């Protein structure tokens, strides 16, 4: 197969659907709507719940993820649009829709998405039953199980729930965000008086109770629960044994409901005390405006009207469900100990370079730059970098950004240990990390008590860069070691997100990192940066300059190509720059996991642009930007960068982000010819984006074995510290040419 003049192989026959051309109509927008594109992403996540190549509980996990994704979308994006409509805000979206028009389109799509979730749940529930995992299966409640469940209700649930009458004498109770409750329609036996009672389900309770494999009924010994595993929802238990809650009443009906509230936090730029302001904002968020009310299909009409009235919402915010309310709660069942129904366990590798240096991270970095590919290689290397710095007597200072660190963070522990050992430790803790604000406030307090200098950064910008620097006394001077990441310092997500950790002792990058920290901690705008590019200062312009250079090369007849891998592409100006590149003949290959507002395959606009999305066992999270630089892609001469930033206006203009050039040959080869190329070649977990905004699964070229990029990295050693590995054949070499793997 020959290589095209632009430096990329011709599109394979199997990609014909991805390269189909369309013509932009006179009334059509050159951009996709951001919110509808996100819903398309969640449809792809939901499609993985139907992927029969996955084990059953993994499919259930994807269904649960689609539910939690949708909840966050409602609490943030839809809530924002509702607020715009209420304030009379009419500024159009990137595709020209008003906020009201967007809400209408979103709700139409949501109705379809919700129905599909319930259909998939019914199918998976049947499959689980066949695998002896039974969920709310009344037929399996034997007399013995009934006795156990009732005793559990009386001992574990009844003491902590509180019925509340809904009448003029009892104010309507507050229903918290993501809160669930039951409404009971009752008749008092003595007077035949009718009333409605509410029982809120405390968030401290699990969504499901697992019946033990053997149960003990009153006055009997242990007996089998009927075989298999049985889960009953807490809501169903309350409904089942409600007569114990309402003695003297006859229950006429009941219904389950769930509430989602506006959960965004807005902080005024003039906030005098950021910590105090955030603590107050978190409290306000818990009482945010109701955005969605979800109820059961057969909910009592009078009770439904009461809820709508008391919550202050209209029918547009109401979703009726004929299945499970709160799909995200299925995550509890995913934890069931059934290895046969889950992916084979995977243990990340310790990078070979680190092993060669007996675990001495600094020694390994001094030898030359190193990149770690998570989750295939252990995040413990990052933690060890900080732990080693904490106990090393030659280390004098540590500086660290913290965006999301998780609830059990070894990174926090290492910083505390370093401070207690007398080292100068500075932590930039981002309070505006959505839904992690409270956790970050707790970490900040703990760090400060240990003597860490805690900085909260800018009021109006988030510090989203992932940077750690260690200053170590060596010889007559000091050496700076840096870690630059594409993902958070979060030990849990590092096991399921694909990210890159880049370690270097390059003095130029060390000086640039120090300037970045001074910018965040002291507002000292960095000048004369040597290698690093920082948003919102010059990161956008660097990407522009690289795109423009590819345009110039195409116009001169030189190879010209752009490869990008990111999570979201929404910035209008960046999209326009890529359109200009396409019109100049630059071949643009984009791997965009989530939202993509760029329309590929439009004649005269984007006929040289292809967009794919990779959705699989791991969440693709790394950001990589590569430019042919006058040579066929992928080549050693290509300009390659890793970044913390997506191509979104917020990342480019309203966050502190980093863009790091990859100059070391080994790291360059691993990032471009392994990580990025594998994503380009993947045919088992990928979707093509079409000109009309729809997606379809990628199919392998006829005669070519399907390629799964996650499996490739799980089964092959990485290039970390192994410069000759490709040439020696120790790592299977990927190729754009037919066959994919050499």
- Per-residue pLDDT tens over the stretch 130-140: 999 999 877 78
Q: Is 464 assigned a catalytic role?
A: yes
Cα 98 to Cα 80: distance, rounded to the nearest angstrom: 13
| Strand partners for 466 | 485
Tell me the three state secondary structure of residue 18. helix
**262-266, 389-393, 615-619: lowest mean pLDDT where?**
262-266
Tell me the three state secondary structure of residue 162. coil
pLDDT reported for residue 14: 37
Tell me the three state secondary structure of residue 186. strand
Read off the pTM. 0.91
pLDDT band at 27, cuts 50/70/90? confident
Q: Name residues whose C-beta falls within 8 Å of residue 374's C-beta, 6 or more positions apart in sequence.
A: 348, 487, 494, 495, 497, 498, 499, 500, 501
- Per-residue pLDDT tens over the stretch 149-171: 999 999 999 999 999 998 877 88
Exposure string over 552-581, b if 16+ CB within 10 A, otherwise e:
ebbeeebbbbbbbbbbbbbbeebbebbbeb
- For 654, the token pair is 């309203």
CATH code 3.30.870.10 region(s) in the chain: 13-30+534-728, 365-531
**10-19, 169-178, 459-468: lowest mean pLDDT where?**
10-19
CATH code 3.30.1840.10 region(s) in the chain: 161-213+231-334
**17-26, 102-111, 123-132, 319-328: lowest mean pLDDT where?**
17-26
Phi (first) and psi of residue 372, to 5 degrees: -110, 130
Q: Name residues whose C-beta falls within 8 Å of residue 596's C-beta, 6 or more positions apart in sequence.
A: 32, 37, 568, 569, 570, 590, 611, 613, 689
Residue with tokens 């409270």: 438
677-687 average pLDDT score = 95
Q: Give 496's DSSP letter.
A: T
Cα 373 to Cα 379: distance, rounded to the nearest angstrom: 9
pLDDT band at 270, cuts 50/70/90? very low
Which of 21-35, 210-224, 537-551 shows the highest mean pLDDT?
537-551
pLDDT reported for residue 275: 58
Q: What percent of the chain has pLDDT over 70?
A: 89
pLDDT band at 16, cuts 50/70/90? very low
- For 317, the token pair is 């915010």
Closest residue by Cα to residue 296 from 327, 317, 319, 328: 319
- The alpha carbon dihedral of 117, 119, 121, 127 has a sign of negative
Specify the higher pLDDT residue, 214 or 688.
688
Phi (first) and psi of residue 612, to 5 degrees: -130, 160
- Between the CA atoms of 175, 180, 181 and 182, what dihedral angle is there, to the nearest 10 degrees? 150
Q: What percent of the chain has pLDDT over 90?
A: 72
Specify the higher pLDDT residue, 436 or 437.
437
- For 407, the token pair is 């609830």
pLDDT band at 578, cuts 50/70/90? very high
Cα 489 to Cα 360: distance, rounded to the nearest angstrom: 20
Q: What's the CATH code, domain 161-213+231-334?
A: 3.30.1840.10
Exposure string over 148-182, b if 16+ CB within 10 A, otherwise e:
bbbebbeeebeeebebeebeeeeeeeebebbbbbb
Q: What's the CATH code, domain 365-531?
A: 3.30.870.10
pLDDT reported for residue 8: 39
- Per-residue pLDDT tens over the stretch 297-310: 989 888 899 999 99
pLDDT reported for residue 499: 97
Specify the higher pLDDT residue, 140 or 183.
183
Task: Choose the catalytic residue: 373, 374, 464, 621.
Answer: 464
Q: Which CATH number fits domain 13-30+534-728: 3.50.50.60, 2.60.40.1120, 3.40.50.1100, 3.30.870.10?
A: 3.30.870.10
- For 155, the token pair is 């001992």
Is pLDDT at 50 greater than 50 in this prediction?
yes
- For 160, the token pair is 């902590």
Closest residue by Cα to residue 387 from 378, 398, 376: 398
- For 279, the token pair is 């603590």
pLDDT reported for residue 1: 27
pLDDT reported for residue 161: 95
Q: Name residues whose C-beta falls within 8 Å of residue 27's C-beta, 6 or more positions apart in sequence.
A: none
Q: Residues 294, 325: contact at Cβ < 8 Å? A: yes
């Amino acid at each position: 197969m020959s290589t095209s003049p632009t430096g990329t192989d011709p599109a394979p026959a199997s990609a014909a659907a991805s390269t189909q051309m369309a013509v932009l109509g006179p009334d059509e927008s050159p951009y996709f709507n951001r919110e509808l594109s996100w819903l398309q992403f969640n449809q792809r996540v939901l499609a993985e719940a139907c992927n029969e190549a996955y084990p059953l509980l993994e499919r259930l996990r994807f269904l649960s993820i689609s539910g939690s994704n949708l909840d966050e979308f409602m609490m943030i994006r839809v809530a924002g649009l509702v607020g715009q409509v209420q304030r009379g805000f009419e500024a159009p979206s990137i595709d020209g829709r008003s906020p009201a028009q967007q809400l209408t389109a979103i709700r139409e799509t949501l109705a379809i998405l919700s129905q599909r979730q319930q259909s998939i749940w019914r199918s998976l529930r049947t499959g689980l039953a066949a695998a002896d995992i039974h969920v709310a299966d009344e037929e399996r409640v034997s007399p013995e199980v009934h006795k156990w469940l009732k005793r559990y209700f009386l001992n574990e649930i009844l003491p902590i729930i509180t019925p509340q009458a809904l009448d003029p004498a009892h104010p309507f109770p507050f229903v918290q965000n993501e809160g669930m409750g039951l409404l009971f329609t009752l008749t008092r036996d003595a007077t035949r008086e009718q009333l409605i009672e509410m029982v809120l389900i405390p968030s401290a309770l699990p969504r499901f109770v697992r019946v033990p494999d053997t149960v003990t009924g009153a006055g009997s010994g242990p007996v089998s629960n009927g075989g298999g595993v049985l889960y009953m929802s807490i809501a169903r238990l309350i409904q089942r044994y409600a007569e114990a809650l309402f003695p003297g009443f006859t229950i006429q009906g009941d219904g389950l409901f769930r509430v989602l509230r506006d959960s965004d936090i807005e902080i005024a730029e003039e906030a005098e005390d950021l910590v105090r302001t955030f603590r107050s904002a978190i409290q306000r968020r818990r009482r945010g405006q109701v955005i969605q009310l979800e109820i059961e299909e057969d909910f009592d009409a009078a009770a439904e009207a009461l809820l709508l009235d008391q919550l202050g919402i209209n029918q547009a915010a109401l979703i009726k469900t004929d299945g499970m309310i709160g799909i995200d709660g299925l995550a509890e069942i995913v934890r069931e100990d059934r290895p046969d129904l889950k992916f084979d366990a995977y243990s990340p590798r310790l990078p070979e370079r680190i092993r060669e240096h007996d675990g001495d991270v600094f020694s390994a970095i001094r030898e030359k730059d190193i990149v770690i590919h998570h989750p295939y290689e252990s995040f413990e290397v990052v933690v060890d970098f900080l732990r080693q710095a904490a106990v090393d007597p030659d280390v004098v200072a540590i500086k660290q950004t913290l965006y999301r660190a998780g609830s059990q963070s070894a990174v926090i522990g290492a910083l505390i240990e370093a401070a207690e050992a007398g080292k100068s430790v500075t932590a930039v803790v981002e309070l505006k990390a959505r839904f992690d604000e409270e956790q970050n406030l707790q970490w900040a307090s703990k760090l400060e008590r240990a003597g860490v200098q805690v900085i909260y950064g800018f009021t109006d910008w988030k510090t989203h860069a992932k940077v750690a620097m260690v200053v170590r006394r060596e010889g007559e001077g000091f050496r700076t070691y840096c870690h630059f990441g594409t993902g958070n310092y979060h030990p849990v997500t590092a096991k399921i997100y694909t990210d890159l950790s880049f370690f270097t002792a390059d003095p130029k990058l060390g000086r640039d990192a120090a300037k970045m920290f001074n910018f965040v901690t002291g507002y000292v705008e960095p000048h004369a940066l040597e290698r690093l590019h920082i948003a919102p200062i010059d990161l956008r312009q660097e990407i522009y300059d690289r795109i423009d250079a590819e345009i110039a090369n195409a116009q001169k007849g030189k190879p010209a190509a752009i490869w990008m891998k990111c999570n979201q592409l929404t910035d209008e100006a960046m999209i326009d720059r890529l359109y200009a590149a396409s019109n100049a003949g630059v071949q643009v290959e984009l791997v965009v996991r989530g939202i993509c507002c760029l329309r590929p395959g439009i004649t005269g606009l984007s006929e040289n642009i292809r967009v794919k999305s990779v959705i699989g066992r791991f969440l693709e999270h790394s950001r990589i930007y590569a430019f042919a630089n006058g040579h066929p892609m992928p080549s050693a001469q290509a300009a390659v960068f890793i970044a913390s930033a997506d191509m979104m206006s917020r990342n480019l203009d309203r966050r502190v982000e980093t863009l790091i050039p990859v100059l070391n040959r080994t790291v360059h080869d691993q990032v471009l010819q392994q990580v990025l190329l594998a994503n380009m070649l993947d045919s088992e977990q990928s979707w093509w984006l079409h000109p009309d905004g729809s997606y379809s699964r990628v199919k392998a070229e006829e005669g070519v074995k399907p390629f799964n990029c996650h499996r490739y990295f799980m089964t092959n050693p990485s290039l970390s510290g192994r410069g000759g590995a490709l040439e020696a054949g120790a790592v299977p070499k990927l190729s754009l040419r037919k066959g994919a793997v050499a």
